[in-house]
């Protein structure tokens, strides 16, 4: 076992705190002294025996450390040399003598003076000490070879001598350790313990250096490989040139492509300048990859290639008729477009916007237009897009930058004049990355899109030959400026007759084919299709109808496969899809039929509404109770609808004298107005006459006819104003079995848009005033009187209850 004997001594010396350095005994260390207390301590030591106590402070950023911010173990040192510089700092060279531990510190005349205790150890020699010394020496030799920060002379000086403490201090002072690690070594007073700790630290540092050397060697080999490949590539090019092979280099091919691409003058000049830059770049550099990608995109977008356009009107009409049933207005617009193209050599591109509920064929119509005109078709879905860069692209300064979706789709089309569909244009949104709808303003403006500027290409690109078609479910979410640039064509919902024809011509054959069935295995009757339309779907379009037809076909396909698996000799019986068969295959009806034979009720009026998925009916209910004149609205009604209720109430109050109501009837009752399906938000002015009718019915106790529906905006004077979505609302009434509708007189001009079979089957009343509405909607006329009897609030409520019980 290694042993050492300890002796101690106490003395009092000037103390100087030092930063980011640890002074070891037996070593010479130079440093600058600038702080005033430190300069005073040096001067005091020089005036005495040139001995000073040096201790490292905990935080190097502290200019005036307190005694408790200085390590308690430091080094007694001799000041070998001191030189005052011109700036007042002292350049000092010190030699460490021995360790010391602070017992106490006092401040005298602007500097610290410390009472320290020093220790001296005498180590007894032996084989174990020799082995430890040899191990440390060997490890230090390895460390010096791996590290380039320690010179050979230092190593020789450390090895000389038999003092283990001096060996440990010299090695520790010359290792690349942190201040904390060196302080740890300094605080180990026993030479044997200190030498053991140095051996452990050397093991760790040698391992780190070996890892660093491995990594550096790997990096160096990779760099040498890249340089070697570059050198050999250049050598191969030179050899091929000498042999007369490969005259056309990659750059020559790029140059030829640029010259034949048909670019604009600006784009051509930019491409040639980029090609020249690329030639001067090292092929392995990252910048060359960016330049090459840019040139590839410039060459990829079509500059002069065009589709040969079909301008044969009979052929186009034939294609449109074979692909879609109905939609006469849109077909007329397409044929007009083709007629103009035939007469004008260079017409501007058209920009249409199809607006209608889901499932009416907006997207498929765009594909039919491309087919009818002989153009390529590309589609870009804008639903959820909220970044302007999706339209215009990113600038080349960004890593991984690409052109916007407009030019990416043009590349996909490969021609300058495709049919370009911008699907779901009403579902774009805005955030901190920009407004994509604002970026579309340039794309969809015929006066600007001939010089569309993408951020990535940074050259003008002509979009004027593109046939843009946008689709949307609603218009109010599209900014007005964007609406102004498009020709809006509305696609209303289909009538049941149209749905029947669409199902027989398109949906049934398509779903039969997808299910692997033929006409010998399945047959849809009109009765069966009608059952699907009325009791399994309720929509303006035909998407859900197609889905339900597909469900029927798949169930029949399973029956066919089961029959074939049973290896029945007799032929599989043909499945005839009747109404009963539909119920058997699809289960209970999803929608109950709402016909007009329900009872007339007090305060319940059938209104008509328009939604994103088409028209629907909306029943409005009113109830009277004793109160203080409060009007309550429920059913998640919007601000406009609540204002319509207020306007209806004002009309009724102004007409109370002819309705048999006291002039102050509203002060003693509360009116509760409710629109069912309360979880669904509702708004708009078209429910005005419906609300007024419900309140009038509740106040007069006269039931409202259940076989009549209505829609129209009301004023406080009782005038009925026009509304929108007339076709959708009438189709909704027709779907729900209502054949009599009250409409504003100003909407009579919209009748040509209504299918002829609907006009013939429905009885339409066009009214100017609310008085006309009440005459038509109430079960009996209100007994008009010049002077109405003064009824109390209790009598009004009681009369309303009695009438409800009767009905």
- Please give the positions annotated as active site: 686, 729
- Is residue 362 within 8 A of residue 324, CB to CB? The reply is no
Q: Which two tokens stand for residue 93?
A: 């060279």
- Is residue 316 within 8 A of residue 373, CB to CB? The reply is yes
Question: By CB neighbour count within 10 A (0-12 exposed, 13-18 middle, 19+ buried), where does 13 fall?
Answer: buried
Q: Alpha-carbon Rg of the chain, whole angstroms?
A: 47
- How far apart CA 39 and CA 84 sit, in angstroms, is 10
What DSSP line would sit under 341-401, residue for residue? HHH-SSPPPPEEEEE--TTSSHHHHHHHHHHHHT--EEEEE-TT---THHHH---TTSTT-
Pairing of β 419-423 and β 467-472: parallel
- How far apart CA 561 and CA 568 sit, in angstroms, is 11
The residues pairing with 11 across neighbouring beta strands, listed in sequence order, are 116
- Is residue 300 within 8 A of residue 411, CB to CB? The reply is yes
- How far apart CA 696 and CA 771 sit, in angstroms, is 11
- Is residue 60 within 8 A of residue 20, CB to CB? The reply is yes
Q: CA of 38: how far to CAs of 41, 45, 152, in Å?
A: 5, 11, 34
Q: Where are the beta strands (DSSP E) in 722-804?
A: 740-744, 763-767
- How far apart CA 335 and CA 373 sit, in angstroms, is 10
Cβ partners under 8 Å of residue 142, min gap 6:
202, 206
- Is residue 210 within 8 A of residue 146, CB to CB? The reply is yes
Give just the sign of the alpha carbon dihedral 9, 10, 13, 19.
Answer: positive
Long-range contacts of 136-141, Cβ-Cβ distance < 8 Å, separation of 24 or more = 136/167, 136/168, 136/171, 136/195, 136/198, 136/199, 136/202, 137/167, 139/199, 139/202, 139/203, 139/206, 140/171, 140/202
Q: Which two tokens stand for residue 270?
A: 């930019």
Q: Which two tokens stand for residue 519?
A: 């006409």
- How far apart CA 802 and CA 789 sit, in angstroms, is 19
Cβ-count burial 683-704 (b if 16+ within 10 Å, e if not): ebbbbbbbbbbbbbbbbbbbbb
- How far apart CA 618 and CA 693 sit, in angstroms, is 14
- How far apart CA 299 and CA 272 sit, in angstroms, is 12
Q: Which two tokens stand for residue 213?
A: 């050397």
Cβ partners under 8 Å of residue 486, min gap 6:
351, 352, 353, 444, 470
Cβ partners under 8 Å of residue 349, min gap 6:
417, 446, 449, 463, 464, 465, 466, 467, 468
């Amino acid at each position: 076992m290694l042993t050492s004997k300890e002796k101690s001594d106490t003395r009092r010396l000037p103390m100087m705190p030092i930063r980011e350095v640890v002074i070891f005994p037996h070593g010479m260390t130079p440093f600058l002294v600038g702080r005033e207390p430190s300069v005073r301590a040096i001067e005091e030591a020089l005036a005495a025996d040139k001995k000073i106590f040096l201790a490292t402070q905990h935080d190097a950023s502290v200019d005036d450390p307190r005694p408790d911010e200085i390590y308690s173990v430091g080094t007694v040192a001799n000041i070998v040399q001191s030189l005052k510089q011109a700036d007042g700092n002292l350049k000092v060279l010190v030699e460490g003598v021995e360790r010391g531990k602070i017992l106490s510190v006092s401040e005298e005349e602007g500097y610290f003076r410390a009472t320290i205790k020093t220790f001296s150890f005498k180590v007894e020699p032996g084989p174990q000490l020799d082995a430890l010394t040899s191990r440390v020496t060997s490890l230090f030799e390895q460390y010096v070879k791996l590290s380039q920060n320690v010179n050979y002379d230092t190593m020789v000086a450390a090895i000389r001598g038999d003092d283990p403490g001096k060996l440990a201090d010299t090695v520790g002072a010359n290792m690349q350790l942190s201040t904390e690690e060196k302080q740890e070594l300094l605080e180990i007073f026993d030479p044997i313990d200190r030498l053991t700790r140095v051996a452990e630290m050397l093991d760790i540092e040698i391992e780190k250096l070996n890892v660093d050397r491995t990594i550096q060697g790997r990096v160096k080999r990779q760099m040498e490989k890249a340089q070697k490949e570059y050198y050999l590539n250049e050598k191969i090019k030179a050899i091929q040139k000498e042999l007369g092979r490969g005259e056309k280099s990659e750059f020559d091919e790029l140059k030829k492509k640029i010259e034949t691409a048909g670019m604009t003058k600006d784009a051509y000049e930019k491409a040639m300048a980029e090609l020249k830059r690329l030639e001067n770049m090292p092929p392995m550099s990252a910048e060359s990859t960016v330049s090459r990608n840019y040139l590839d995109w410039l060459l990829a977008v079509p500059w002069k290639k065009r589709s040969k356009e079909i301008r044969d009107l009979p052929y186009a009409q034939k294609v449109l008729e074979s692909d879609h049933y109905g939609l006469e207005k849109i077909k007329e617009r397409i044929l007009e477009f083709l007629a103009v193209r035939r007469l004008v050599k260079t017409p501007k591109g058209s920009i249409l916007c199809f607006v209608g509920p889901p499932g009416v064929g907006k997207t498929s119509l765009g594909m039919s237009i491309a087919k009818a005109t002989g153009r390529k078709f590309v589609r870009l879905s804008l639903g959820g897009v909220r970044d302007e860069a999706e339209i215009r692209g990113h600038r080349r300064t960004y890593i991984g930058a690409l052109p916007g979706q407009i030019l990416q789709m043009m590349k996909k089309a490969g021609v300058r004049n495709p049919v370009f569909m911008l699907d779901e244009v009403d579902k774009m949104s805005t955030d901190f990355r920009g407004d994509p709808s604002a970026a579309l303003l340039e794309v969809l403006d015929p006066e600007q899109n001939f010089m569309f500027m993408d951020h990535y290409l940074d050259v003008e690109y002509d979009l004027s030959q593109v046939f843009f078609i946008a689709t949307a479910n609603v218009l109010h979410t599209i900014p007005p400026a964007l609406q102004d640039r498009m020709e809006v064509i509305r696609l209303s919902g289909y009538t049941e007759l149209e749905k029947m024809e669409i199902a027989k011509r398109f949906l049934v054959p398509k779903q039969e084919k997808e299910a692997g069935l033929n006409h010998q295995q399945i047959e849809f009757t009109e009765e069966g299709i009608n059952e699907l339309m009325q009791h399994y779907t309720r929509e303006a379009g035909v998407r859900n109808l197609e889905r339900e037809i597909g469900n029927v076909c798949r169930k029949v396909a399973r029956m066919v496969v089961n029959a074939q698996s049973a290896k029945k000799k007799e032929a599989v019986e043909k499945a005839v899809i009747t109404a009963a068969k539909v119920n058997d295959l699809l289960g209970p009806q999803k929608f109950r039929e709402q016909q007009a034979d329900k009872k007339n009720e007090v305060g319940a009026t059938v209104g008509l509404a328009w939604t994103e998925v088409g028209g629907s009916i909306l029943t409005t209910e009113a109830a009277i109770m004793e109160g203080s004149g409060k009007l309550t609205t429920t059913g998640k009604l919007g601000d406009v609808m609540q204002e319509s209720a207020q306007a209806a109430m004002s009309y009724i109050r102004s007409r109370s004298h002819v309705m048999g109501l006291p002039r102050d009837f509203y002060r003693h009752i509360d009116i509760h107005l409710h629109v069912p399906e309360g979880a669904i938000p509702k708004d708009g002015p078209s429910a005005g006459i419906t609300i007024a009718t419900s309140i009038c019915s509740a106040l007069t106790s006269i039931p409202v006819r259940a076989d009549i529906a209505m829609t129209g905006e009301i004023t406080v004077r009782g005038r009925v104003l026009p509304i929108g979505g007339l076709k959708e609302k009438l189709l909704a009434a027709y779907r729900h079995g209502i054949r009599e509708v009250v409409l504003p007189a100003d909407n009579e001009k919209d009748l040509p848009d209504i299918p002829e079979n609907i006009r013939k089957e429905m009885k339409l009343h066009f009214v100017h005033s609310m008085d006309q509405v009440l005459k038509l909607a109430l079960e009996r006329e209100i007994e008009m009187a010049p002077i109405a009897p003064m009824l109390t609030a209790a009598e009004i409520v009681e009369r309303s209850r009695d009438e409800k019980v009767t009905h």
